[in-house]
């Protein structure tokens, strides 16, 4: 079949000039979440759980010495999924992990070096599987405890506005950002109001991921990706609670997730209180 210039498809592709337009760079950025636990207050109490995110200290301009999401350029002969898998493997030395594409960030000025479009991915890992590898141009990689508060919420007839204060801590390191989310009838706008030691527009990406995780945990079984093979129902509930950022009633929670778990014959030991039965994920 010939086109209007009388070329076959083969001829057309041969003369096609791929560099006709100036092209943006494309990167992937990884939101790697895990569950961390803090020290027990005393021998009886359970340890508190936190939602943790992996960040890397930038060793180069721009945003030198600030913390950024692990990520990198998508090379020309690699799918974006493969780039994400590669970055995950480089940073955490794990593969075959739950991973999901989240959103693609394409504002013009988001990287001062050049036009960069960035596709963000979320990965959920069980902490026990991981050993960190500091990569080439990062002086450091660390897990940060995440928390946030919604400081202000305005609702008009056709505008919903909220301010989110995001906090990330790891030892003495303390990062924070304020994000403004405006929901108009047609679209949602996310702006960074301030960003302390978080590089680029990564604060936006982080909160976007948290919102997605909150949604997903309600109607899928993603939470189990964060769990070890065996766990108590209270541990599972803690994970739901930190992700949803609210307390749950244990009786209702147990009913709700009953069909997702199978009991084992094992129990926790030396807990300082009644032992707890261990369960496994019951895939369906």
Partner DNA sequence: ATAATAGTGTCTTTCAGACAGTATAGT
Partner DNA sequence: ACTATACTGTCTGAAAGACACTATTAT
* Residues binding a copy of itself (CB under 8 A): 1, 3-4, 7-9, 12-13, 16, 18, 21-26, 59-62, 64-65, 73-81, 83, 96-101, 103-104, 106-108, 112-115, 117, 119, 155, 157-158, 185-187, 283-284
Q: Which is nearer to a copy of itself, 44 or 113 (CB)?
A: 113
Q: Which is nearer to a copy of itself, 155 or 252 (CB)?
A: 155
Q: Which is nearer to a copy of itself, 96 or 172 (CB)?
A: 96
Q: Which is nearer to DNA, 159 or 255 (CB)?
A: 255
* Least distance to DNA, CB of residue 54, Å: 28
> Residue 83, exposed/middle/buried by CB under 10 A (0-12, 13-18, 19+)?
buried
* Cα 48 to Cα 242: distance, rounded to the nearest angstrom: 10
Among DNA, a copy of itself, none, partner that 16 touches (CB below 5 to 8 angstroms by kind): a copy of itself
Among a copy of itself, DNA, none, partner that 187 touches (CB below 5 to 8 angstroms by kind): a copy of itself
Among DNA, a copy of itself, none, partner that 174 touches (CB below 5 to 8 angstroms by kind): none
- In the complex, the residues that contact DNA under the rule CB under 7 A are 42-46, 232-234, 248-252, 254-256, 267-277
Among a copy of itself, DNA, none, partner that 264 touches (CB below 5 to 8 angstroms by kind): none
* Least distance to a copy of itself, CB of residue 81, Å: 7
* Least distance to a copy of itself, CB of residue 199, Å: 12
* Least distance to a copy of itself, CB of residue 22, Å: 4
* Least distance to a copy of itself, CB of residue 130, Å: 15
**Polymer length in residues for the chain:** 284
* Least distance to DNA, CB of residue 36, Å: 17
Maximum Cα–Cα distance across the chain: 83
Among a copy of itself, DNA, none, partner that 46 touches (CB below 5 to 8 angstroms by kind): DNA
Instruction: Judge contact between 121 and 28, C-beta under 8 A.
Output: yes
DSSP string covering the chain: ---TTS--HHHHHHH--TTSS---EEEEEEEEEEEEEPPPSSSSSPPPEEEEEEEEEE-SSSSTTSEE--EEEPPTTS-HHHHHHHHHHHHHS--S-EEEEEEEE--TTS-SSS-EEEEEEEEE--GGG------TTEEEEEEEEEEEEEEEEEE-SS-EEEEEEEEEEETTEEEEEEEEEEE-SS-EEEEEEEEESB-TTHHHHHHHHHHHHHHHHHHS-GGGGGS-SSEEHHHHHHHHHHHHTS---HHHHHHHHGGGEEEEEEE--S-SSS--EEEEE---
The number of CA neighbours under 13 Å toward the Cβ of 57 is 13
Q: Which is nearer to a copy of itself, 102 or 271 (CB)?
A: 102
- Pairing state of beta strands 67-68 and 116-124? unpaired
Q: Which is nearer to a copy of itself, 38 or 264 (CB)?
A: 264
* Least distance to DNA, CB of residue 238, Å: 9
Q: Which is nearer to DNA, 170 or 276 (CB)?
A: 276
């Amino acid at each position: 079949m010939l086109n209007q210039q009388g070329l076959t498809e083969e001829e057309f592709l041969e003369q096609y000039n791929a560099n006709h337009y100036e092209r943006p760079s494309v990167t992937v950025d990884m939101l790697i979440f895990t569950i961390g636990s803090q020290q027990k207050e005393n021998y009886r109490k359970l340890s508190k759980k936190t939602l943790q995110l992996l960040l890397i200290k930038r060793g180069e301009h721009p945003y030198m010495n600030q913390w950024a999401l692990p990520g990198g350029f998508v090379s020309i002969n690699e799918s974006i999924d493969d780039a994400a898998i590669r970055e995950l493997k480089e940073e955490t030395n794990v593969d075959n992990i739950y991973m999901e594409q989240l959103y693609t960030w394409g504002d013009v000025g988001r990287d001062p070096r050049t036009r960069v479009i960035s596709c963000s991915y979320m990965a959920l890992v069980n902490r026990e599987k991981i050993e960190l590898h500091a990569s080439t141009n990062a002086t450091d990689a660390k897990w940060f405890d995440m928390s946030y508060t919604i400081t202000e919420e305005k609702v008009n007839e056709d505008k919903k506005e909220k301010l989110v204060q995001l906090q990330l801590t790891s030892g003495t390191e303390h990062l924070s950002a304020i994000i403004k989310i405006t929901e108009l009838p047609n679209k949602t706008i996310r702006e960074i109001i301030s960003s302390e030691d978080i590089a680029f527009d990564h604060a936006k990406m982080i909160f976007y991921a948290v919102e997605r995780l909150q949604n997903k945990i309600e109607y899928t079984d993603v939470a189990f990706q964060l769990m070890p093979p065996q766990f108590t129902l209270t541990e599972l509930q803690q994970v739901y609670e930190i992700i949803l950022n609210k307390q749950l009633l244990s009786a209702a929670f147990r009913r709700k997730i009953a069909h997702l778990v199978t009991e084992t014959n094992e129990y926790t030991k030396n807990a300082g209180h009644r032992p707890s039965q261990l369960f496994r994920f019951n895939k369906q």
